[in-house]
Amino acid sequence: MKMCNALSSNNDVTLLTRGKKNSESDFSYYGVNKTFKIKKFNFLNIRILSSLFFSFFSFFQIIKIKPQIIFTRNRFSLLVCLLFKKNKIIFEDHSPPTGFYRYLINYMLKKKLTKIVLISNELKKIYSKSCPNIDHCNVIVAHDGADPMKIKDIESQIINFKNNKINCGYIGHLYKGRGINTIINLSNEIRDISFHIVGGNESDINYWKSKTKNNNIFFHGYFENKFIPPLINQFDILLAPYQEKVFLQNNLNTVKWMSPLKIFEYMSSGKPIISSNLLVLREVLVNEKNAFLVEPGNIIEWSEALHRLKKDKALRSKIGNQAKRDFLSKYTWAKRAQLIIES
C-alpha cells in the first residue's frame, strides 16, 4: 500500500491483491490517501488453488488495464508475466528463492524481467549464487522505507506514560529473534528507565508477560499501522534488539538479508536508535553516527549505550537528527519509488 501510494504520485497505479473487497478500510488502515485503485480477488485460502486462481484473475485484469509496467512481488504470478511480451516487468523479492521458484526466476532474469528489486546488498549476494542469470538483468537494491513524520504524528499522544522517566520503545512483532528477552533483561538492570513494547498477538504478549514482574516494562499490544508514527514519536529512545537469528511467522530466518521496516520508521522520527550490530543493518546504520550498534543479547553493551543516551540529551539529539537526515535523503517511500522507476 505504501509503495503504491508513492508510485501513484507520477503514475496511474492499480493494485491487484487478494482479500475481502473493502478497499476503503485498506486506505484507512495504512493511513494513505486514495491515490490509486485496488482490485481484489477473494478465494478460499488454499495455497496452491488460491495462487492459481489469483493468477487467472491477474491475467484478465492486465488485459483490461493494459499497463505499460507490471510490478509484482508475487512469485507465482511471474508465470502470468510470461504471457505478456510487450510489457516491462519489474519483480521485487525479499528472500532467496528455492525449489521451483529458483528455476522460474533464474529463467525470467535472462528472458523476461526488465528489473529485479532486492531489499539489501546482502540479499543480492545470496541471490547471485542461486540465480546466476541475475547478471543479465538490471538489479536495483532498494532498502525498505517509511513515510516522513507528519505534523499530526508529532503532536498526537497515543500512550499516557504517567512518569518522568526516559521512555524506551520497541514496536514490532514478538516472534523469535526479535530480542524481547533482551528488553526484559534490560528492565531488570536499569530500573529508572521505562521500557514499552508495542505489538504482538495475545498469546505472544501473555508469554512474554509471564517472564517478568518488573513495574518498569509495559506491553501495549497491537495498534493499526496508521498509529505507528505517533507512537514512535512519543519515545525518547528506540530499540531494535534483533538476535543472531530472526524469524518470520513461517519460521524463515531472515537475519542475513533483511531490511526491517522498523528501522526506517524509527529513523523518520529523529529519535536515537540502539540496534543490534548485524552485517545487513550496517548497510543503513553507522555506529555513533545515526545509531548505536551493539552486540545482540550483550546486556552490558546495551546497558552502556542506554546510560550514555540517558544522561546526554545533546547526544540523543545528534544521533536522532542524523538518522532523520539520512532517512529523508534516501529511505522515504517516495525516494524508493523514484529509484526503482528511474534506475
Q: What is the pLDDT along the chain (343 residues), one digit of tens a residue?
A: 999 999 999 999 999 998 877 667 889 888 898 999 999 988 766 666 778 888 889 999 999 999 999 999 999 999 999 999 889 999 999 999 999 999 999 999 998 999 999 999 999 999 999 999 999 999 999 999 999 998 888 888 888 887 788 999 999 999 889 999 999 999 999 999 999 999 999 999 999 999 999 999 999 999 988 899 999 999 999 999 999 998 888 788 999 999 999 999 999 999 999 999 999 999 999 999 999 999 998 999 999 999 999 999 999 999 999 999 999 999 999 999 999 999 8
The pair phi, psi for residue 199, each rounded to 5°, is 125, 180
Q: Would you state the cell numbers that stand for residue 77, as one nine-digit string? A: 504470478
Residue (of 77, 63, 73, 96) closest to 4 by Cα position: 73
Pairing state of beta strands 37-41 and 14-18?
parallel
Please state the length of the chain.
343
- Based on its alpha-carbon atoms, the radius of gyration of the chain, rounded to whole angstroms, reads 21
Taking the C-alpha atoms of residue 5 and residue 126, their distance in angstroms, rounded to an integer, is 30
What is the structure's pLDDT at 23?
65
What is the structure's pLDDT at 22?
67
**What is the residue type of 284?**
V
Taking the C-alpha atoms of residue 110 and residue 310, their distance in angstroms, rounded to an integer, is 53
What is the structure's pLDDT at 41?
86
Dihedral of the alpha carbons of 53, 58, 61, 63, in degrees to the nearest 10 = -110
Kindly give, in sequence order, each residue whose CB lies less than 8 Å from that of residue 127, ignoring residues fewer than 6 positions away.
93, 96, 97, 118, 134
